[in-house]
A and B are shown apart, each in its own frame.
Chain A
């Protein structure tokens, strides 16, 4: 069974084709732009390399967010449309979990994060599982980084924690200052999401996939105009 995996939810663009037990091919670029222009050509190019036709795919896995709203939508719209056109299932995988997978095997807490502006981050807490994957231990959220670090201290005490993601660099000082020696910073390559991880996580959940029509992004927050409108209603 072959599954196409896609991640355009943040600055990195990554696509992969995986089977249950191996990666057939993967492409990752960190050009930080133009996902709309480059995604389909990247998929097409990878599948040409692998000598695969679209109808040889058994499913699609896509990074569902959080991340850049537009980036998430490009990936999700592409994945659900392709799945619908091919009559195959599509599953969504958390964009944070995809990054957390880079630290699978780490015995402490795994903390992927993306900057969400105004001192906030999209984040969650993951733990290594016996099957080699990582599972959510502290729910994903959008939160002020300062508050999040306090919460981590409370939840995970003296346990070491690995901070992952391209945006960790911009918050590194604050994290190091608050967490001290508990904070572990990953090597550069661990900060980028890999579509191969998304494919590997997705392929195991393919059987539970609903209709492609129901595949929608997980933004972790309502649109700003919506939030303002709601606040006004609650006056």
Chain B
């Protein structure tokens, strides 16, 4: 009756990795992303080629609440998770049999939402002995650019989204140094709050961007440069200034043209983001400037950063809109670097709401 001990999980994973590396075939990574309100799964080849990138967006669900409700998002994730993964594999024409590793976002983000993706990725990894990789969400946003063009180091990445505003220096693959970050609101958050004050629907970013192009930046608003040598950001003062401007005008019975206010707000945000990015790129002799995150979809920001990089002779990479917002292709792209190094996570991988970028789960 007694048979030989079956291989334990870690041995099955090592054997999987060894066999695939020896075969020397293209590497297919399955990416899983559930950090906020998009359930996403993707399959990418060799870290650069997107075979499938399925995004089950919940934007419509959360619209009526005026923002993402964590419990509602988590419920949707658990309903959609396996369907989304299956759809990505089908679209890529792959089966789990052909997948070399599973890369999953484990932070930062909404913890209840993260846990669904992490639980699913761990379960599939255990079931099939497929190596598991934990990916930092911001690393994912940066690596969205590698799906467009090869990265050249050192590079400076500006990551801007509803939850993040960071300037990151990368000297090589998988290495991240935060040069600056927001001390209060993320840029995207400030957009949402100002949009609400202007009576625009959620999410406010695209509406302000559109309105800004119809108006003139003629309302004086502050720019938060902070200390002269700082690469940090601050947007709460600007947000308050916008609210005060609206309030004071209404007290005096005046009206402010919303398009002009939107244009002035956007000009203030964009100028600080762009100038700090340029200064950081020059100080670190960056060979590339990358833009990443949901706010990278902002036309005003794209135009201003493009113009300033051209002036300064800096090479700028901006991912297409579909790769700017949360998606699993970027997570798989970042995970590929760990795959090559054999940096795998254990079955105790956890979702961590405030995961720092420098933190690596793997040994």
Contacts and interface: CB of A to CB of B under 8 A. Distances in A.
A223 B112 CA distance: 13
Contact of A78 (B72, B96, B119, B351): B119
The range of chain A's interface size is 35 or more
B123 interface: yes
A179 to B, nearest CB: 34
Contacts of A86: 127-128
Contacts of B112: 69-70, 73
A216 interface: yes
A44 B82 contact: no
A53 interface: yes
A40 interface: yes
Nearest to B132: A40
Given A44-B126, A70-B112, A82-B126, A226 B350 contact: no
Contact of A40 (B77, B82, B96, B122): B122
B69 interface: yes
B71 A77 contact: no
Contact of B82 (A39, A212, A229): A212
B318 interface: no
A180 B179 CA distance: 67
Interface in A78-100: 78-82, 84-86
B78 interface: yes
Contact of A213 (B71, B82, B116, B126): B82
Contacts of B351: 36
Nearest to B79: A216
A216 B75 CA distance: 9
Interface residues of B, number: 41
B8 A44 contact: yes
Contacts of A79: 123
B200 interface: no
B207 to A, nearest CB: 22
B86 interface: yes
Contacts of A80: 78, 81-82, 120
Given A41-B348, A73-B74, A216-B79, A85 B69 contact: no
A85 B79 CA distance: 16
B3 interface: yes
Interface string A56-86: 0000000000000110011011111110111
A43 interface: yes
Interface of A: 34, 36-41, 43-44, 48, 51-55, 69-70, 73-74, 76-82, 84-86, 212-213, 216-217, 219, 223-226, 229
Interface of B: 3, 5-9, 64-65, 69, 71-72, 74-75, 77-79, 81-83, 85-86, 96, 111-112, 115-116, 118-124, 126-128, 346-348, 350-351
